[in-house]
Structure 1
């Protein structure tokens, strides 16, 4: 019995010392518009919609009003983040000229390392931090079909 207890404690210790499982979100570094790194813990147990865009990308800008409407239609289990790899000054200037009610961030991870070669690209990231879906190209985010599709990730 004593041997079994010792083995059990050793196994528990070994398991708890294992490095945390790599998640898709753990590979991404985001900063707010002040340049401060976002604490991704605040998004834990939420589904993240991470939309990659650029100030020069016409389709990206065209879908922003739909993103605002979609954001207002989704329950609190979702968080929408718009991320550009451009300079903070460029992103800030854009948000001053076009005051969309969206959370704009700067992605500090190489978008190419994430397999992004076209904008807009949107990642749907599950509550566990793993990638659920990659959507390339602009879309009607506020369409009933799109909103219902996103809600399926709650199941």
Structure 2
């Protein structure tokens, strides 16, 4: 655990309290961590006023003492030209720029296009982790283990996207 919990509004997984696995917080917020130059989306939660975190990378779970991270802030309505939406994988995986309505929040990197992802596991439990939309992969730390999914198994998950407000558009 590290710094004091932020006083600003952060992006909460699914905009709801999750049905998390035993031992995992049900209040999960989007965070980004870099390991060896590779972006890893994961989660933070409030642990008695301190930031606690969990990130899965390369099949390993990194929990609590992570180091430097970035937290996704929910900017005030009046200053942003978009709204956040947790959308089905199929809405996020639209690669035709002319057909796209929802734009995944992402970090594009040579190994993949990494986005925040809300996974619903086979047992019904939920966890915030990461999606690699380009390569159809998703993972999240669940009960201290990096749970990984590939191919069609990822299509039921939700990806954090942005949708431009009327009169706004994203540069691509």
- TM-score, structure 1 length as denominator? 0.28
The structure carrying a bigger helix percent of its residues is 1
Computing the radius of gyration from Cα coordinates, the structure with the larger value is 1
Q: Higher relative contact order at CA 8 Å, sep ≥6: structure 1 or structure 2?
A: 1
The structure carrying a bigger strand percent of its residues is 2
- TM-score, structure 2 length as denominator? 0.26
